[in-house]
Structure 1
Amino acid sequence: MASTSAGNNFWLGDLSSGEESPFSDEEENYDVSMSEDGEQSEHNTETEQEWSESDDDNSPQESNDRYFIGKDKTTKWKKARPNLQTRVRSENIIKLLPGTKGDGRHAKTEIECLNLFINDAAIGVVTHCTNIWIEKNRNHFQRDRDARNTNETEIRAVIGILFLIGTFKSSRKNTHKIWDNARGSGIEACYLAMSEKRFRFLLRSLRFDDYRTRDERKEIDKLAPIRELFEICLNNFQNNFIPSEYLTVDEQLLAFRGRCAFKQYIPSKPAKYGIKTFALVDAKTFYTLNLEPYVGTQPDGPFKFKNNGEDITLRMVQPVEGTKRNITGDNWFTSLSLVNKLKNKKLTYTGTIRKNRREVPSEFLPKKNREEYTSIFGFQENCTIVSYCQKKNRSVILLSSMHNDDAIDSSTGDQRKPEMITDYNHTKIGVDMVDQLCQNYDVSRNTRRWPMVIFYDLLNISGINALCIYKSNNPEKVIKRSNFIEQFAWELIRPQIQVRSTVLQLPRVTRQRALTLLGIDAVIQPSIPATTACYVGRCAICPRNKNKSSRVRCAKCGKFACKDHLKSVCTDCDF
């Protein structure tokens, strides 16, 4: 497996060519040795660890000239590096090359790439469950037409509108301002596809399961309200793309402050409150391969699993088992037992490790008298551990089964960082980049229903994954992500605009503009009122105060007209 010292900028270009990086220069250069101090949370990912007197008091002193001894007094780390005159280890040889697979190979256009993830099965589930909910609540409306059933064309249009609004960074904007075009500031494709009232009604009514059987399913699964749709999208993520050799496992926090039994508080995150989701992301293309929302302890049943870092990591990497990829994680996930278990699955691991782990020798802990920019290495047959001192009294400890030497990255100059550290810095950004990309063109709207938060996240990730597929199948094309999203959003909305352009009850100007957007060269003529049994009517041209009646209609428009305004045609129709 090749070194990753090429840097972040090359990888960012894989996804965002033609578009500025969502990271500032300062953020792109941020590395493991520059963590900021902050308030601690359960998922504490601070990489630099500070010296304390208790570290020396509780540390064993059995280390000798050949080995470092861990705090558990059984784990041994060789001080001498292994013989490097050997062939490349089998776990570092990639045979399954990255790229599209299955149906993903045949997706060439923007909408074809998106339909790989938001496919007919996903749309069918949303449509069916939404109609069940609408039928239940129809008696709350005075008019049946205000609560009429939806269809797959309309659901696709709703999703397209969400994506389109996201490209304008207006996902949190009041819908009235988006639909109101009195001053030319509205988004035309939105109000041509459906009315604001209908859009708001559909968002309120969106459901992803049959509410009639939900209580029964919640007895074994807290994620029951969206489990079926979530599994469909997750299978689509895994069936259409082969990731690169470097993957990142980390957490997301989906902003949410409503009622939810498994809502989390993480003060280090911008949103602070929300739904925690673990993700497995390609560190080069930022393709999301696996997701798992954290719902706490599940009831007894098929969805009950352990929620420690090791077990979560083993579940997250199931789609890439046996593919000889490297997994990068932070110190919440990392342990020596995890590295050994991943080794059995033909995967390597690189990640920071907490100083209180029993397998870490006392020599690797932060020391007051340790010289800056120095590294201490320890070796085992399957992995290597390093302690790097960036500042006085502080050091970062990293464990890797991908590296088996004590190489120093010459590009770091006087800082003399080990290659293990620089490789970790280059591969740890996968999930963080996906968060940044989701925020750039976020489709999420304010909601008090937590299943909608997960639904919006699936849409955001589907848009990013679709772009990965598109760039893999069209390497010669350069397209901005915003233009890519606008294109497939329009394809989602177009069929609904075609349907609505045929509704005679809509204003003629609206229908005419819809035909223009669709590229249909046609002029909608004014409608002629149907002839009624009334033989006498008021002149349509005279002022109401005159109230002139007539028995004669205009031969062209069918309106009543008095003799003063009647020639061969009425004065309104005269050219």
Structure 2
Amino acid sequence: MATSDKIIERSLEEELFSNDDDVLDSNCSDVEVDIDERHVLPCDSASNSEIEGDEEADLVANSQQQSSTLDFSSDDDVPMCELRSRPRKNNYFGKDRFRWSSTPTSSRARTFQHNIVQEKEGVKQGYKNVLNSSSSPLDIWNQCFTDDMLEIIVLHTNEKIRSIEPKYTKQVCVQDIDLVEVKAFIRERIICIMSKNRFEVLLNVIRFDDSLTRETRRETDPLAPISQLFNYFIKQCQEVYAIGSYACVDEMLVAYRGRCRFKMYMPKKSAKYGLKIMCLMDARTRYLLNAYIYTGRDSDGLNLPIEYTRLRKPTQAILRLISCIEGTNRNITTDNWFTSIELANCLKGKQLTLVGTMRKNQREISSEFLPSRQRQLESSLFGFTSHITITSFVLKKKVVVVISSMHHASNVDEASKKPEIILFYNETKFGVDLVDQRCSNYLTGRRTRRWPLAIFYTY
């Protein structure tokens, strides 16, 4: 009996297993056989027969939640919830969510189109017959400060002389001035052509504009006493010489402590007090190409289109200076007072590029580019957009942040360990400062209470 019972039990067990296989095959007849294991959702070890009521609903909800959080990428199977908690390594974001990519947008080795300057550097065609390698400094000065400009001085100085002539008993000292005497007065050959009394009279009476219409012109032009001569000089500088591929922008300070409503205090300058002149110069030859005298907050955007008034004042200053080189693919080097993403975008529309240091409080800079104890000394970090590159270099206890729309790669010099962008900035940033230094070393000015004379002595 025991043996027969075991046989019956074994047959029932085989029948049970054979029925389960049939049901399983019928339910899975439409399912693909080659299913990747990564796509299989985890499930509970219990069978469907053991799940009833609310427990079954909970399991279905859990399965849907697990399927929505799985990452079906070909690289790994990490849930998205874990990926969100990890820091992004391929992008950097500024305070205003400005995005920098850690990889360059292009790896092309050839020179970019926006770095090719078509205009040849040097003396322009119309002046090559009078200026060459044998020309003296005086010959060059004569082309930038022409006789027509000196005639303006002669005209208005004689007007002043005639107005004060009745006050002098010695009429020799108040005779009309001519072109020869003006050149002697400017070029320090005074002793050969005039007496001391005559020289002192000319210092007092020299004028550069019409005194009768000055007050009317001052209502719209604060620089009325000197603006005609100054603008003539800048125009002549642009006509004589073509600068190279790289220019720089900065301010000069003409020393002056007299009375003037737009006198500036600049503690970092040696003179500290004076008149600020914004300059655009060749970064290599230090040739002055464009400049304007700063007369107040609204003077940076003077003569610019009305839509530029919403831009930052430093951006307006650059746009006013680069009007003579728009569309030439040249590069502009600026310091951190001028440099911004806004400026880089504006110059791109003018077919110019920008290289400059940035202040670290600008909202486009990501926290990864700012000073941190975790960063190693002389380490570099790069970020890229479609046309701007940012680099952060650790130098001792500070970090230098530079942006460039001219460079598009993370090149670092092996000897100095400095990025190529910073080396380029160091080579091209000193143009205006060197000219300011030379003007102080070879000083031609004299003490005066008249600010137009202070500017005239500088140039």
When the two structures are superposed, what TM-score results if normalisation uses the length of structure 2? Answer: 0.76
Distance 1:274 1:302, change over 3 A: closer
Q: Distance in 2 between matches of 1:302 and 1:318?
A: 12
| Higher Rg of the two aligned structures | 2
Conserved 8 A contact 1:126-1:207: yes
Equivalent of 1:96, from 102, 119, 133?
A: 119
Structure 1 residue 107, shift from structure 2 partner: 2.0
Match of 1:40 in 2: none
Aligned residue for 2:295, secondary structure, equals coil
Q: Distance in 2 between matches of 1:298 and 1:259?
A: 20
Give the residue type in structure 2 aligned to 1:334. Answer: T
The equivalences for 1:236-275 within 5 A come to: 236-275=236-275
Distance 1:454 1:362, change over 3 A: same
Match of 2:56 in 1: none
Q: Distance in 2 between matches of 1:135 and 1:103?
A: 39
Conserved 8 A contact 1:71-1:361: yes
Q: What RMSD, in angstroms, separates the aligned Cα atoms of the two structures?
A: 2.0
Match of 1:284 in 2: 284
Q: Distance in 2 between matches of 1:311 and 1:240?
A: 26
Match of 2:342 in 1: 337
Matched, 1:140 2:167: yes
Aligned residue for 1:221, secondary structure, equals coil
Structure 1 residue 440, shift from structure 2 partner: 2.3
Give the residue type in structure 1 aligned to 2:429. Answer: K
Conserved 8 A contact 1:373-1:389: yes
Aligned residue for 1:409, secondary structure, equals coil
Match of 2:93 in 1: 69
Equivalent of 1:384, from 386, 389, 392?
A: 389
The equivalences for 1:289-300 within 5 A come to: 289-297=289-297
Structure 1 residue 419, shift from structure 2 partner: 0.6
When the two structures are superposed, what TM-score results if normalisation uses the length of structure 1? Answer: 0.61
Aligned residue for 1:212, secondary structure, equals coil
CA deviation string 1:432-463 (max 9, x = no partner): 111122122221111111001111122xxxxx
Give the residue type in structure 1 aligned to 2:444. Answer: V
Structure 1 residue 87, shift from structure 2 partner: 3.9
Match of 1:425 in 2: 426
Conserved 8 A contact 2:190-2:199: no
Matched, 1:406 2:430: no
Structure 1 residue 127, shift from structure 2 partner: 0.7
Give the residue type in structure 1 aligned to 2:407. Answer: H
Q: Distance in 1 between matches of 2:434 and 2:387?
A: 30
Conserved 8 A contact 1:63-1:69: no
CA deviation string 1:272-320 (max 9, x = no partner): 1000111111111111101111110469x97689681101011111111
Match of 2:104 in 1: 81
Q: Distance in 2 between matches of 1:113 and 1:103?
A: 14
Match of 2:443 in 1: 442
Matched, 1:318 2:323: yes
Give the residue type in structure 2 aligned to 1:285. Answer: T
Structure 1 residue runs without a partner (length 5+): 1-60, 162-188, 459-575
Give the residue type in structure 2 aligned to 1:99. Answer: G
Structure 1 residue 84, shift from structure 2 partner: 1.3
Structure 1 residue 369, shift from structure 2 partner: 3.1
Structure 1 residue 221, shift from structure 2 partner: 0.7
Structure 2 residue runs without a partner (length 5+): 1-84
Match of 2:39 in 1: none
Q: Distance in 2 between matches of 1:62 and 1:342?
A: 37
Equivalent of 1:126, from 138, 142, 153?
A: 153
Distance 1:202 1:298, change over 3 A: farther
Conserved 8 A contact 2:260-2:451: yes
CA deviation string 1:17-60 (max 9, x = no partner): xxxxxxxxxxxxxxxxxxxxxxxxxxxxxxxxxxxxxxxxxxxx
Give the residue type in structure 1 aligned to 2:384. Answer: F
Aligned residue for 1:135, secondary structure, equals helix
Number of corresponding residues: 365
Distance 1:127 1:378, change over 3 A: same
Distance 1:62 1:361, change over 3 A: farther
Q: Distance in 1 between matches of 2:235 and 2:147?
A: 14
CA deviation string 1:213-237 (max 9, x = no partner): 1000000011111010011101001
Give the residue type in structure 2 aligned to 1:65. Answer: K
Conserved 8 A contact 1:214-1:224: yes
Aligned residue for 2:432, secondary structure, equals helix
Give the residue type in structure 1 aligned to 2:163. Answer: K
Match of 1:362 in 2: 367
Aligned residue for 2:285, secondary structure, equals coil
